[in-house]
Chain A
């Protein structure tokens, strides 16, 4: 079994699987159960400043998107930060950390955007023995209407300002949690970096309406006939999260900025993808909310097996795919492929044909007896047929070797690399120095 011990900004945990700040980490009872189940760490559900606790709606807090067999594909919520008294949470955090010294306990914080508020709460957190703090600059609903959460996370200057206060008034490692509800994730990440953040974590949830009740004509979840946008999470958001993680990981302006990857991690494979794109660990919420805490055991065994199979350490995996995340303009235009249909695997459903004929390049031929073949002189290798084929590996993209003729263009495939930056059709192309 590969060693999954993780050191993330000086915080060690037996594995890279942390529970994200959310209802599963709301109280001692849950967190103890989570640690017993095997979670490497938790980010305690966000604490606010001292005073009357926040209140939640008393109608439904969650909305969902399902597959046909009620598989939960996406979840949204309008729950706020902890609604329990500050001193209760602090007491419980201390108790849990004392009993689980090998696990990571991070405290998520969200207090008003004043120096005093941060200066006041940080020592209280330090006293608990917690390993670090995570600044909740991501929550997109409710709290943002009060000038906190994503209202801060959407203004880079505020992120820098608050991060500096936190580093000034506390010695704890500081993770800044970013909202995806912005146009360019690199700007808030850069702001956290400049403020002295030890790491960023992302993504928080995405502004969303999961569905509309077509009898009430109201967004869901519906509270007394009305709905408000919630934060979207779960398997559906993973591709968005992966891209944002990669954008930060490969930005030369923030070299080595540690990232805690969040967004739809459901299996070991999801986690491995985040790690490969530069995340030093991952945080999980929806998978635990869907399947319970035990789900981490599959993540641990799967990631261990994968690393063993690859002969890699966890550190080898982190960031391994980052150098291969590129820009479109740097993709090799001389890499030519054609779709190939494995006739033995084909079940003759014709989906590739319908997709290509109706919506792509009319590059698949259908015979009277339902044999489907690719027309190389039309195929642009778009991959749509691969994506709609219900049989895995039935259709593959095969490379046309250098020196062979691409039947579609009638030109010989060059051996050398050639991208858009040097392409003759590019009016801005670079030319070799005379």
Chain B
């Protein structure tokens, strides 16, 4: 181990470029043609298949797998994309182990499900590699719709509306579209700039204008959008991050995991991205896992993920927990932060063990840290929004908000899991509802 790897503080280049590149390569490499045939042959073509029921976008999984097995991946892709226009990204990031593959009858029987996610990727990659966009726009309707946010919900909504012949303008706060596909999600799940390529491919439908750098409340307002459009879809996600709420939260070295992940996704040379030697990640969801694993892959020597409740209650799936463990992340459950110590810069984080109802046990410990990531949830930001339910926009039916002519979906809307695939389903369904309302 060389001096760079051992150096304290937040430093770039802890590992050499080749090691970093290997670590950040495809988590699940693509199937080749023969592998796909063999994998597809394992599907039993179940009646009223449980995997379809488990898929938030209701993809006809047995049908698309059968299409792969007969040598027609393009037809398979169409089956997938008709239900989920971001089927390519979902094939990469869906927690299939808690969705379709969890209920696969071969998981029940053998503990080894049909590899639905990888087969979906095989089909969608085939179509995207050909540059083919399998859908056509309907005749123009003359209706104009504003979509706020170019993340999974907004893109799915915009595509479906454009396909129906409407004119769509997407207002995106960031410099690039894609939302969490572009700025969130571990890099090893979206290699080779896939998120951007998928958006380019999606936009081939036509009829969608993308306006970047448009922040709701700063550059645009909901009232303004309503005046200029026939309908508005809000899909801007969660822009804020929860604070730790302990003393020392503002010390140097304490940052939001989402920012670290976004930097990591945007940097051109990963070896140039600084990371701590002793990293502590606080949280138990996917963001926490992604930050912890990627810290290790950048060369952090000690990465500890601390979650306040029991392991069973972590939002990250068991598969993701095991992935983190396999990369050398140390997971501690049942401990809450009580203070961040240090002289200006963080030096230690102090935790107290808690029971599953978060009652303190009085037993405390400290972890050395030169970098701390907050990953304890995100919050909706913005003013003049429709009524909230809890901390998110209240919706009924297919994403209808309390404001007439305004729909919402994805992470900013109440209900549903905060998953890419759920956001896609909500965006798509809201688009159908908007279409029915405008054309009805």
Q: Which A residues lie at the B interface, using CB under 8 A?
A: 67-70, 347-351, 353-354, 366, 370, 390-391
By the criterion CB–CB under 8 Å, are B50 and A351 in contact?
no
The smallest C-beta distance from B80 to any residue of chain A, in angstroms, reads 20
Per-residue CB contact flags for chain B residues 13-45 toward chain A (1 = under 8 Å, else 0) read: 000000000000000000000100110110011
By the criterion CB–CB under 8 Å, are A351 and B69 in contact?
no
A68-B69, A354-B47 known; A348-B105 Cβ under 8 A: yes
By the criterion CB–CB under 8 Å, are B105 and A347 in contact?
yes
**Contacts beyond the supplied A347-B105, A348-B105, A349-B105: 17 A-B pairs with Cβ under 8 Å:** A68-B40, A68-B69, A347-B108, A348-B46, A348-B108, A349-B44, A349-B46, A349-B47, A350-B46, A350-B47, A350-B48, A351-B44, A351-B45, A351-B47, A366-B47, A390-B44, A391-B109
By the criterion CB–CB under 8 Å, are B47 and A68 in contact?
no
Q: Which residues of B contact A354 (CB under 8 A)?
A: 47
Category for how many chain B residues contact A: 10 to 19
By the criterion CB–CB under 8 Å, are B109 and A347 in contact?
yes
Q: From B46, which residue of chain A is reached at the shortest CB distance?
A: A349
Q: Does B106 contact A (CB under 8 A)?
A: yes
A350-B48, A351-B46 known; A68-B41 Cβ under 8 A: yes
By the criterion CB–CB under 8 Å, are B46 and A69 in contact?
no
The smallest C-beta distance from B37 to any residue of chain A, in angstroms, reads 5
A interface, over-half SS: loop
Question: Of residues 91 to 113 in B, which have CB atoms within 8 Å of A's CB atoms?
Answer: 105-106, 108-109
| Cα-based distance from A347 to B112 in the complex (angstroms) | 13
The smallest C-beta distance from A147 to any residue of chain B, in angstroms, reads 42
The smallest C-beta distance from A373 to any residue of chain B, in angstroms, reads 14
By the criterion CB–CB under 8 Å, are B41 and A69 in contact?
yes
The smallest C-beta distance from A354 to any residue of chain B, in angstroms, reads 4
Per-residue CB contact flags for chain B residues 176-193 toward chain A (1 = under 8 Å, else 0) read: 000000000000000000
By the criterion CB–CB under 8 Å, are B37 and A68 in contact?
yes
| Cα-based distance from A202 to B373 in the complex (angstroms) | 76
Q: Which residues of A contact B49 (CB under 8 A)?
A: 350
Q: Which residues of B contact A347 (CB under 8 A)?
A: 105-106, 108-109
Q: Which residues of B contact A351 (CB under 8 A)?
A: 44-47
Q: From B42, which residue of chain A is reached at the shortest CB distance?
A: A68
Q: Which 9 A-B pairs have the closest CB atoms?
A: A350-B47, A68-B41, A354-B47, A347-B109, A347-B105, A349-B46, A349-B105, A349-B44, A69-B38
- 25 A-B residue pairings within 8 Å (CB atoms): A67-B41, A68-B37, A68-B38, A68-B40, A69-B38, A347-B105, A347-B106, A347-B109, A348-B46, A348-B50, A348-B105, A348-B108, A349-B44, A349-B105, A350-B46, A350-B49, A351-B44, A351-B47, A353-B47, A354-B47, A366-B47, A370-B50, A390-B44, A390-B109, A391-B109
